[in-house]
Structure 1
């Protein structure tokens, strides 16, 4: 019996699945993630430890191939990350092949084999263009300082700014001022609520800004004009990222013959019913080029890794019997 290993590795978590050649799930383990840019040693240790747990009670000698989809493994850092992953892989699964791609590639290939787009909005946001399983164009995904417009962290940061402006008489009234104060248990009758808000916000890790995003979307649904303006701007930016990915594909790979067919909406803000998704769908429907695309439901990205692992040795996995648990 042959085994195949697939991994979905992000900054927050590492997911590793092992299936056999019948498509049966034999092991599924989650562990801490790792950022190869800011903490390469920690990333190496986290992935290595999670792989070791996934292989417990299985014969590593039966593993035929593996594939890692790794956040940040784009062209700029591919060689560095691939070298580290090959090293930890060969130490635990000697003799088996491993391939590597970005996490965006496995997210798209898990859902579609056609040319098309992935638009993702979760903590971050990015639009991507794919042809023959290859990422050939992208727009945004530049992190919370330079971009990720329309993502959860961005929504939260915009909500905090709007609340601060309202409290400081620099912007229009918004219900976000009250909801943000309540979120941090700040008494609105305090001597200076602005200073109290500063004391809470400036100690936060940037990822914590995303906790304010649900306040923004709830206020938008309730009709708050400021919150609705934030949501509308975010939706505009997300759809613009699709156009940007198409333009990037033409610039970077003009001979690819890119002919988009499918569109995959992924990430919490676009794969579940949210006001952001509603606004994005309105804009897609109004764009003749985007409206022609076929919506494809997102699948667990790790399924894309498993398919790529099998393809390394010329094998096509049957439909996974436990795909719903990944």
Structure 2
């Protein structure tokens, strides 16, 4: 029987990353997350407590075969590999998730959401066998080939470049906060992101405004073993929107991914955000999968 325990440190982070990379080797880009997602989720705010909200499952030989990551909003992301373990692991995962969120589903609260890729029939079948039902809420997984795209036109005075290094941490964190309207990404938090194993400064792109401030961002992550790149996140500060900055950052990111050996670029977009979806489709991305929310019966 599989055994489970909570996340216990950097060794587990490396094991989770290996599992994600192995899943991509087996299934191409149609996997629940990327190696960059693991780093981004681990470091993107000051409230991540993996020792409390990441659970790992191991097989009889002690090999990691799956993990579940719970978030304070009631989302639970899963990855199981090989996928044939889904039928055995899913009852345990759902039991853990419901115990971890004992008040979720109460009146006026968002119910617990477990996410599963449409293409991952082993996982969706296991969820449905436990009585969980799919709701009309999903994240689109989009992909495009990489290429030497050249440069996209920019408004006068704007430039696209990568961050200059640790000395620009505060400015990089500030443009994230302005773009997303959240205070979660502080200077200290972004310092942690910059220390992540898959972070590369030359793939951390920004658009600089004529006054020297940062106007937009696109952080690229690379899985060199599988020739995959991912954008997470992409955003523009409100006062600089509708100038083509995000499009220019994406084109530059695709070009840099290509130079690093990636042949496919990925990005995720919430289906309920048509502006985001339209941006990525205009940059050549096409939907390859859907990550659906499932709720308890």
**Fold equivalence (TM over 0.5):** no
Higher helix proportion: 1
The structure that has the greater radius of gyration is 1
Q: Which has the higher strand share?
A: 2
Which category describes the TM-score, using the shorter chain as reference length?
under 0.3
